[in-house]
Structure 1
Amino acid sequence: MKLLEVFENQPPLAMVGCGILRKEVNFLIEKNGWNVHTHFLDSALHNYLNRLSVELNRALDEREELGEKTVVFYGGCHPLMENYLEKHHTCRTHGQNCIVMLIGYELFMTELEKGAYFLLEDWALIWEPMITACFGMNMTVVREIFHSSHKYLLALRTPCNSDFVEAAKTAARFVDLPLQWMDVGLEHLESVLADAIQRRLEDRQ
């Protein structure tokens, strides 16, 4: 059964999730004519588990109080993620994290094993305040943290991105790592979203 056929005679689905790929998600929803509206949360919440827990559960509560059926756009970004999904009788997109959802597990692991830290546009634009809020203002410490497990920043550029070259360069200088680029399509993300949406619509809960 095609995904659009599953939408027939059903109200819109509410997708609650991380805003890191909001442009790409919204583009794919519009492209495919999916009857889905989105509620995006701050893309830096993965650094603050308590805030992620509170804001995700609050957003799901709000949507449920409106009588909406939800699906979650998150990876395993919280140790209790599966508990939250069960509590709210919903499901999430398959994938360890947003990078895996975007480029696939094999490519993710290949670059990770080479020492990549994956950089997306949204993070590049808020890089310094995001990093210092998480790790503090001591640049020696910040760079030691990054250098201990990463050899380069890999900026992923999608068809939905604006020009964030300068922001990416600034981010790389900030942590004193070389910058590399990779242009990526949306095919894998599209399949991940379609799978999650279909699973949720076919769930009668």
Structure 2
Amino acid sequence: MQQKLVIIACSIFRYELEQMVKEGKIKVPIVYLNSILHMQPKQLQILLDEKIEEYKNFRIILMYGDCHARMVDYEEKTNIVRTPGINCCEIILGKSKYRKIRNDGAFILLPEWSERWKEVFMDSMGFKTSKAIKPFMTEMHKKIVYVDTGLVEKNNPLFNEISDFLGLPLEIYSSTTDELESVINHLIEQSESPEKNKNGR
């Protein structure tokens, strides 16, 4: 008897995954962990280990990049397959689009983190003022690129607030969920035959 399938995902993908569920493109349960855990890798590892143990009798699609130091170890488990990509931005955009945007000097912002930007930069990273973070951001980046997957209404006042605080111009990059859909479909097939191309990341 084949094991049941579950997706364990970072909540950064919630908008896109829930839309796929709504459209009938995903018909398996999805378990989310808070995306802010990306800023707390040790805590992420603890909670992810617990969740994987909870679903040890399931086939698991793990929707995470290299978000903590032992992430690759999960792929040694025969019931787990993981999304290819070093981080959530590459997973959503695909390698070539992600590299092009990064090579342009961009800090990439996904919809969920745009809504939670104060949690990310002020609370988690500790930059309480614009004056504190601007030198850090402008040294490493030329601009902010917001990835619009077409599922969240554009919030220009919010974009202006983020841009002003970080000291970088913000551009909108129109994208789709096509790459994500393709990856998930491949992983569902791969999870059904774990002995085939198990580590074909």
Q: Spell out the pairing of 1:128-167 with structure 2 (5 A cutoff).
A: 128-136=118-126, 137-167=128-158
Deviation at 1:21, TM superposition (A): 1.5
CA contact (8 A) 2:129 2:165 kept: no
Structure 2: any 5+ residue segments left out of the alignment?
none
From the superposition, tell whether residues 71 and 143 of structure 1 become closer, same or farther in structure 2 (CA, over 3 Å): same
Aligned to 2:180: 189
- Determine the C-alpha separation between the residues in 2 that align with 1:74 and 1:113: 22
Q: 1:99 aligns with which of 84, 89, 107?
A: 89
Aligned to 1:116: 106
TM-score (norm 2): 0.87
- Determine the C-alpha separation between the residues in 2 that align with 1:139 and 1:167: 15
TM-score (norm 1): 0.85
Whether 2:186 is the aligned partner of 1:199: answer no
CA contact (8 A) 1:12 1:68 kept: yes
Deviation at 1:39, TM superposition (A): 0.5
From the superposition, tell whether residues 176 and 94 of structure 1 become closer, same or farther in structure 2 (CA, over 3 Å): same
Q: 1:20 aligns with which of 12, 25, 32?
A: 12
Deviation at 1:31, TM superposition (A): 3.1
Deviation at 1:141, TM superposition (A): 3.0
- Determine the C-alpha separation between the residues in 2 that align with 1:104 and 1:60: 26
Q: As a proportion of its length, which structure holds more helix?
A: 1
> What per-residue deviation string (whole Å, max 9, x for no partner) do you get for residues 56-102 of structure 1?
111111222xx322110011222210113325741201112211121
- Determine the C-alpha separation between the residues in 2 that align with 1:105 and 1:33: 23
Deviation at 1:35, TM superposition (A): 3.3
Deviation at 1:125, TM superposition (A): 0.8
Structure 1: any 5+ residue segments left out of the alignment?
1-8
Amino acid at match of 1:73: M
More displaced 10-residue stretch of structure 1: 95-104 or 30-39: 30-39
- Determine the C-alpha separation between the residues in 2 that align with 1:26 and 1:85: 25
Aligned to 1:127: 117
Deviation at 1:38, TM superposition (A): 0.3
Percent of aligned pairs with the same amino acid = 24
Number of aligned residues? 195
Q: 1:48 aligns with which of 21, 40, 48?
A: 40
CA RMSD of aligned residues (A): 2.2
CA contact (8 A) 2:59 2:79 kept: no
- Determine the C-alpha separation between the residues in 1 that align with 2:169 and 2:26: 39
- Determine the C-alpha separation between the residues in 2 that align with 1:120 and 1:34: 21
Whether 2:71 is the aligned partner of 1:81: answer yes
